[in-house]
Chain A
Amino acid sequence: MAMTLDTTALDATETRATSVSNKRWQRFARPALGVVLPLTLALAWELAVWSGWSNGRLVPPPSRVFATIMELARSGELWRHITTTLMRVGAGFGLGVIAGTLLGAISGYWGIARRLLDPTVQALRAIPSIAWVPLFILWLGIFETSKVALIAVGVFFPVYLGVMGAILSVDRKIVEVGRTFRLSGPAMIRRILLPAVLPAYVVALRVGLGLGWMFVVAAEFMGASEGLGYLLIDGQQLGKPAQILAAITIFALLGKTTDWLIELVTAPLLRWQDAFRPSGET
Chain B
Amino acid sequence: MLALDKVGKTYPNGVHALERFTAQIPQGEIVAIIGGSGCGKSTLLRAVAGLDRASTGSIRIDNIDISAPHEKIGIIFQEPRLLPWLTVADNIGFGLSELPVAARREKVAQALARVGLSDKAQAWPRELSGGQAQRVAIARALVPQPEVLLLDEPFSALDAFTRRDLQDHLLDLWADTRPTLVLVTHDVDEAVVLADRVLVMRPRPGRLFAEIDVGLARPRDRASPLFDAVKRRVLTTLDRSLDRDVPDSAPAETVGAWW
Contact = CB atoms under 8 A, between A and B. Distances in A.
A272 B128 CA distance: 12
Contacts of B50: 180
A96 to B, nearest CB: 26
A180 B119 contact: no
Interface string A81-100: 00000000000000000000
B69 A173 contact: no
A72 interface: no
A175 to B, nearest CB: 10
Interface in B71-94: 71, 73-75, 77, 79, 81, 83-86, 94
Where chain A touches its partner, the secondary structure class is helix
16 contacts: A173-B79, A174-B83, A177-B81, A177-B83, A177-B94, A179-B51, A180-B74, A180-B75, A181-B144, A191-B97, A192-B83, A195-B85, A198-B85, A274-B84, A274-B124, A274-B125
A176 B46 CA distance: 10
A171 to B, nearest CB: 9
Contacts of A187: 97
B151 to A, nearest CB: 13
A176 B45 CA distance: 13
Nearest to A195: B85
A273 B84 contact: yes
A176 B81 contact: yes
A85 to B, nearest CB: 36
Where chain B touches its partner, the secondary structure class is loop
Contacts of A57: none
A173 B81 contact: yes
Contacts of B125: 272, 274
Q: Which of B70, B84, B125 has the most chain A CB within a 10 Å cutoff? A: B84
Given A177-B83, A181-B144, A195-B85, 7 more contacts: A177-B81, A181-B69, A181-B95, A182-B68, A272-B124, A273-B84, A274-B126
Given A176-B51, A272-B124, A274-B126, A182 B69 contact: yes
Contacts of B51: 176, 179-180
Contacts of B73: 180
